[in-house]
Amino acid sequence: MRVRLLDIAHARSGDKGDTANVGVIALRPEWYPVLATHLTRDRVARHFAGVIEGGVDRYELPNLKALNFLLHGALDGGGTLSLKTDAQGKVYSTALLRIELDVPDAEARAAGLPEAP
Amino acid sequence: MSRVVRVAGGQGFWGDWPEAPRRQVEGGPVDYLMLDYLAEVTMSILQKQKERDAAMGYARDFVGAMESVLPAVVERGVKVIANAGGVNPEACAAAVQAMAARAGHAGALRIGIVTGDNLLPRIDELLAAGHALHNMDTGEPLSVVRDRVIAANAYIGSTPIVEALAKGANVVITGRSTDTALTMAPLRHEFGWGAAEWDKLAAGIIAGHIIECGAQCSGGNCLHDWRGIENLADVGYPIVEGNADGTFVVTKHPGTGGRVSVPTVTEQLVYEMGDPHAYITPDVVADFTSIRLEQAGNDRVRVFGIKGAPATDKLKVSIAYRSGFKAVGSLVYAWPDALEKAQLADRVLRERLDRLGLHFEKVLSEFVGASATHGPLAGDAGRNAPEVQYRIGVRDADKRKVERFTREIVPLVLNGPPSVTGFAGGRPKVEEIVAYWPALVDKRMVQTRVEVR
């Protein structure tokens, strides 16, 4: 089943130098395992290929039903150096939520995931 | 029922809502008002101001904020803690005392001044003593940019703020203290937490992280159910109700707008997060994977379970240095084919820069309305936009080149693609770039001082 991340998670992003961080939070606690399984470091790195210049780090926060991604080389140098509209990475959050996940049907049905329109 | 200490967040950055501090002290009971003014680049701006005028170099908005909360401080004993001192906490304190005297409250304020964070006069001494102040991101030693450094401040922790409160200060003004220490210090002071009670100190730091960005934890900038968050016009700023055991509740004053819920607090917790296992501060290393949240009533979130680990022997140093010049200009192209027109304008402008022999360290073109924020991820959605803003910026060490660039944008209005407007601002201005150099220094090299006036 195709599942839009936008329909199962919310997110907030910020900056540290030239790195943007995106915290992705499950909209329902029972959807966190889906994020933990399918929203991998590689999936996110593939999504941002050609958009960011560096690699991706991923951390799990099961206590908050959240994942934290660090997107390196995302801000044209960051801070005052950056020429970007989004110099502080404030809207990388919704750029990440553009991801669509391929979740096996049985798993998706068991978790009650909404199918992508 | 054990004692609760209420710390209210009233400013999330220099430029935050001027109404917020007064609303926080008038909307209900609070014990402390915490005001955060300093972002990474703020210290360098303040340093430049101090060079022009020795009585400047602090966040001047703080004087107005103090004036707006003065009755609560004088009559009800609310205490204020702020990192508004910038590179000149003494001058900041003097300005606040002068304001209080004018308002008929001379002698009512006992202001604790925390200094010692400013390392600018000591850089050569530190370098000579073998502290290379390597850039934490690139690994380069500071010597590479030494002659261009204009500010250097160590991030200091809660200890000197606690000392000022213990000496009877009802206002504490610091320079570059960490944002989180401004909230943790009053909790540590009130509850007598020791310097090695890592779990409690970590809890105080996380309380600080939650409220240091003002309303960003109470409904502001919240993606979760954003349409359903009511009355943002009257948004309530956050309040921490701290307990002696390190647990706390995040809430806001009754009747205010916005929302305090597990999702609004979680969004703020993950904001600007690095490795969640090790949130490093001068006081403690906090573990964000230990945090437990629970909705404990309307607009009340209980926070508990927090674990901390011993602090490191380093302090982070925020160094600012001159790093060339930049300018960004823009024009707006209208339907039909707005994006295509803007893209042609970009090709024309770049060809003209080439013919002038102007090459820059960086040229960045963006098409606002089509792809500026999400780049290629936005797909084709901008193709039929009613208008697109063409935005182009350059960066270079040579100021003359950047200045020449600023003269090439507006001519496009008459000698480029059609359906163009939005040039009322004229030529963009050239800005000097003050870049940020994060480094570490041994803690023992930094001695803070506290004076109560």
As a whole number, mean pLDDT of residues A44-54 equals: 97
CB-CB neighbours of B107 under 10 Å: 8
Q: Which chain A residues contact residue B289 at CB under 8 A?
A: 60-63
Q: Where are the alpha helices (DSSP H) in B282-378?
A: 338-355
Q: What is the model's pLDDT at position B47?
A: 86
Q: Which chain A residues contact residue B391 at CB under 8 A?
A: 85
Reported residue count of chain A is: 117
Show me where the domains of chain A are located.
2-79+86-110
Across all residues in chain B, what is the average pLDDT?
96
Q: What is the model's pLDDT at position B226?
A: 98
Contacts of B130 by beta carbon, 8 Å cutoff, 6+ apart: none
As a whole number, mean pLDDT of residues B33-59 equals: 90
Residue B434: is it exposed, middle or buried by C-beta count within 10 angstroms (0-12/13-18/19+)?
Answer: buried
Reported residue count of chain B is: 453
Torsion of CA B257, B261, B263, B265, to 10 degrees: 90
As a whole number, mean pLDDT of residues B93-102 equals: 98
Q: Are A82 and A27 in contact (CB under 8 A)?
A: no
Q: What is the model's pLDDT at position A61?
A: 98
List the beta bridge partners of residue B307. B287
Angle of helix B89-102 versus helix B61-76 axis, rounded to 10: 60
Q: Where are the alpha helices (DSSP H) in B77-157?
A: 89-102, 123-128
Closest CA to B291 of B311, B276, B274, B272: B276
Q: What is the model's pLDDT at position B205?
A: 98
Query: Among partner residues A50, A59, A80, which is closest to B433 by beta-carbon distance?
Result: A80
Closest CA to B305 of B358, B247, B260, B265: B247
pLDDT of residue B110 exceeding 80, the answer is yes
Tokens of A106: 């049985």
Choose, out of B212, B270, B365, the residue to mutate when testing the contact with A (most A CBs < 10 Å). Answer: B270
Residues 2-21 of A with CB under 8 A from B: 10-18, 21
Q: Is A80 on the interface with B (CB under 8 A)?
A: yes
- Reported confidence tier of residue B39, pLDDT bands at 50, 70, 90: confident
What is the spatial distance between Cα B401 and Cα B406, in angstroms, rounded to a whole number?
9
ipTM over 0.90: yes
Q: Are B119 and B446 in contact (CB under 8 A)?
A: yes
Contacts of B75 by beta carbon, 8 Å cutoff, 6+ apart: none
List every span in chain B annotated with CATH 3.30.70. 322-435
Q: What is the model's pLDDT at position A52?
A: 97
As a whole number, mean pLDDT of residues B322-345 equals: 97
Tokens of B94: 């003097």
List the beta bridge partners of residue A56. A71
Across all residues in chain A, what is the average pLDDT?
97
Query: Among partner residues B270, B291, B435, which is closest to A23 by beta-carbon distance?
Result: B270
CATH architecture designation of domain A2-79+86-110: 2-Layer Sandwich (3.30)
Q: What is the pLDDT of residues B174-227, one digit of tens each?
A: 999 999 999 999 999 999 999 999 999 999 999 999 999 999 999 999 999 999
pLDDT of residue B282 exceeding 90, the answer is yes
- State how far the alpha carbon of A14 is from the alpha carbons of A32, A68, B13, in Å: 22, 11, 14
Q: Are B100 and B106 in contact (CB under 8 A)?
A: yes
Residue B271: is it exposed, middle or buried by C-beta count within 10 angstroms (0-12/13-18/19+)?
Answer: buried
pLDDT of residue B1 exceeding 70, the answer is no
Residue A26: CA count within 13 A, CB half-sphere: 24
- State how far the alpha carbon of B154 is from the alpha carbons of A79, B133, B157, B194, B453, in Å: 19, 11, 10, 23, 23
Q: What is the model's pLDDT at position B164?
A: 98
- Alpha carbon of A27: minimum distance to chain B alpha carbons (Å): 8
Q: Is A29 on the interface with B (CB under 8 A)?
A: no
Q: Which chain A residues contact residue B288 at CB under 8 A?
A: 61, 64
Phi, psi angles (nearest 5°) of residue B4:
-115, 135
Q: Are A79 and A17 in contact (CB under 8 A)?
A: yes
Angle of helix B262-269 versus helix B198-211 axis, rounded to 10: 100
Query: Among partner residues B223, B263, B438, which is closest to A17 by beta-carbon distance?
Result: B438
Tokens 């770039």 sit on residue: B433
The radius of gyration computed from the CA coordinates of chain B, to the nearest angstrom, equals 24
Tokens 């261009």 sit on residue: B148
Q: Which chain B residues contact residue A68 at CB under 8 A?
A: 270, 273-274, 276
Whether B224 sits inside 8 A of A10 (CB atoms) is yes
Supply the pTM of this predicted model. Answer: 0.97
Q: Does domain B322-435 have CATH number 3.40.140?
A: no
As a whole number, mean pLDDT of residues A11-26 equals: 96
Q: Is B183 left (phi over 0), alpha (psi -120 to 50) or beta?
A: alpha
- Reported confidence tier of residue B88, pLDDT bands at 50, 70, 90: very high
- Reported confidence tier of residue B395, pLDDT bands at 50, 70, 90: very high
As a whole number, mean pLDDT of residues A74-103 equals: 96
Q: What is the model's pLDDT at position B7?
A: 98
